[in-house]
Each structure stands twice: as C-alpha cells, then as structure tokens.
C-alpha cells in the first residue's frame, strides 16, 4: 500500500521564506521547507494497481500553466481551538479548473469523490493549545503576506509516515501548458 496525494510544490525560494516565519507561537509544530505545498487532492492509501491507474489518469490531464497567489493567513479549527495555521491561496479560475480536472480524473477511475470542500492553503504549522494572544499576533503580522507563484506542473506525491516528520516523495510530475 502507498499513501498518495496530488499537489503543487512550492519553489525553494518561497519555501525558505515561509520557513523563516516559523517562530513566535509556543506549541506549534512547523512544517519543514521540503514539505510545504498546496494539496489539490488527498488520495490516501491505495494498492500499486490503483496507484498506477492514478498516474495514468493524471498523465492524461491537459491544463494551462498559470500563476497562483499566496495571500492571507488564518487557522482551521478543531472543536473550539485552532489546530492548523495556514497561508491562503486565492481561488483563481485556473487553479480551480486544475483541481476540478484532477478530481474528475480520480473519480472516473473509481476513487470516491473528495468529501471536503476545496480550501486552497499551505499548512505552516500544526497547533496544540497555542496561547491565543501569540497566535492572533502572528496572524495579524502575516495576514498581508502576498506572493505570486508561477505554476508549470503538478505532482503525485507519496507520503511516508513515521515517528518524525512525514516524508513526501514526488512520484511523478505532470507539466501544464
């Protein structure tokens, strides 16, 4: 079995810039630079035959290259507390079309539809009871962050979980344009 997701990797320069934000919030588990990405579709654990079908379906997709805009900062809540700190990604039409094409391709090969609404974001940190004033200060200090990122491809990643950080491996890259 292999754990997969489809995403857009970030350029190393942006990864390094975002890693420089990793401070000021106690009990935050910051995402390492090499794991920063935008998830288009989480797949989960599949066997090798399904993984091959996913690759074949994604290789058939045609979509134009585009520019995505990383902007804003916020949290996802779990219960009544913040559990994920993120940077937003604007819902540009080309990004949404690519995400819809990925979703359609995966449903066509028999995967169940994604159960969650697509909320484009980049996970900066996982949170465990952070002090609210520190979290609010971080968000206020980074909420005006804005950077345009050229997107010329998307990637099928595998995710290997262990005791430490997950290890993401690019299994296949699919050019846009």
The catalytic residue among 29, 55, 121, 142 is 121
Q: Is 29 a catalytic residue?
A: no
Distances (CA, A) of 51 to 47, 99, 101, 103: 6, 18, 17, 15
Say how far apart CA 134 and CA 132 lie, in whole Å: 5
Determine the angle formed by the axes of helices 48-59 and 93-108, rounding to 10 degrees.
140
Whether the Cβ atoms of residue 35 and residue 168 lie closer than 8 Å to each other:
yes
Token pair recorded at residue 119 = 């909320």
Q: How many residues does the chain have?
A: 177
> Pick the catalytic residue: 29, 37, 55, 160?
37
Residue 37 designated active-site: yes
Report the C-alpha gap between 117 and 122 in whole angstroms: 15
d(CA 20, CA 29): 14
What are the catalytic residues?
37, 121
């Amino acid at each position: 079995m292999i754990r997969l997701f489809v995403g857009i990797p970030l350029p190393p320069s942006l990864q390094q810039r975002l890693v420089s934000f990793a401070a000021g919030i106690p009990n935050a588990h910051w995402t390492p630079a090499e794991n920063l990405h935008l998830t288009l579709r989480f797949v989960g654990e599949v066997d090798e035959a399904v993984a091959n079908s996913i690759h074949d379906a994604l290789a058939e997709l045609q979509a134009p290259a585009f520019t995505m805009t990383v902007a804003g900062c916020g949290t996802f809540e779990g219960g009544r507390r913040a559990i994920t700190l993120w940077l937003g990604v604007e819902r540009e039409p080309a990004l949404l079309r690519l995400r819809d094409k990925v979703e359609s391709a995966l449903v066509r090969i028999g995967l169940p539809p994604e159960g969650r609404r697509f909320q484009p974001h980049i996970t900066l940190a996982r949170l465990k009871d952070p002090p609210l004033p520190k979290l609010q200060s971080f968000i206020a200090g980074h909420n005006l962050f804005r950077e345009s990122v050229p997107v010329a491809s998307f990637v099928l990643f595998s995710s290997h979980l262990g005791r430490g950080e997950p290890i993401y491996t690019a299994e296949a890259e699919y050019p846009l344009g």
